[in-house]
Amino acid sequence: MRFVVYGAGAIGGVVGARLFQSGHEVVLIARGAHYEAIRDKGLRIQSPADDETLPIPVVDHPSRLTLTGRTREEAFGNVMLSRSRYYAPASHSVRFYREYFRPASERVVEKDRRRWLVVFRGVEFYVHLDRLTNPPADGFFVEVKSRTWSRRDARDKAAVIAEFLALLGARPDDTISDGYVDLIASRS
């Protein structure tokens, strides 16, 4: 089971730590210096029985986190809507992600990202402008992300996002549905 602990202070931190130690997937939401300390060093839990630092993922605002069910993708017109388990800033070390996610295999993809929050025709979404640096790739990639609450909401937002991308000169033929790892693998 997955848990989000909103407010990882004294009580929330202990609850999150104990859930994490019990094998549950946990993400903490903390602010300010507390967020920075957990992000940089992990969450330290102290009691008469133990003194341990745990590599629990942390974000500084709920908008930086999306938890959904099983990964699936659907195409609405020329816009790919992708459901993912997590959206969070990749601010931890590679070791942290290895220990937390325990991947069966690993590929490193590094990118420079610029991010904007856009409101267009009443729809809020993020536009990412990415340049792959490792492995290097020519040009830039635009990624658009928005939360959706239902299939109808997803269709409506996809139409608005497609209209926005058309205003920027993007053509349907420019759409790439592969993730960066798959994209790089296909170029090798």
**Interval 37-79: pLDDT, tens:** 998 999 998 888 889 999 998 887 765 555 444 444 455 554 4
Q: Looking at the chain, how many residues does it have?
A: 188
Place of tokens 């102290």: 46
* 36 and 70 fall within a common domain: no
| Domain stops at, among 63, 97, 112 | 63
* 156 and 78 fall within a common domain: yes
Do residues 111 and 133 lie in contact, with contact meaning Cβ atoms separated by under 8 Å?
yes
Rounded Cα gap, residues 27 and 32, in angstroms: 16
Tell me the CA distances in angstroms from 185 to 109, 174, 179, 181, 182, one per residue in order: 11, 19, 10, 6, 5
Number of domains forming the structure of the chain = 2
Position 188 scores a pLDDT of: 62
**Interval 66-114: pLDDT, tens:** 544 444 445 555 444 444 444 445 556 667 767 777 777 777 777 888 8
What residue type is assigned to position 151 of the chain? Answer: R
The pTM of the whole model exceeds 0.85: no
Read off the CATH number of the domain in which 25 is found: 3.40.50.720
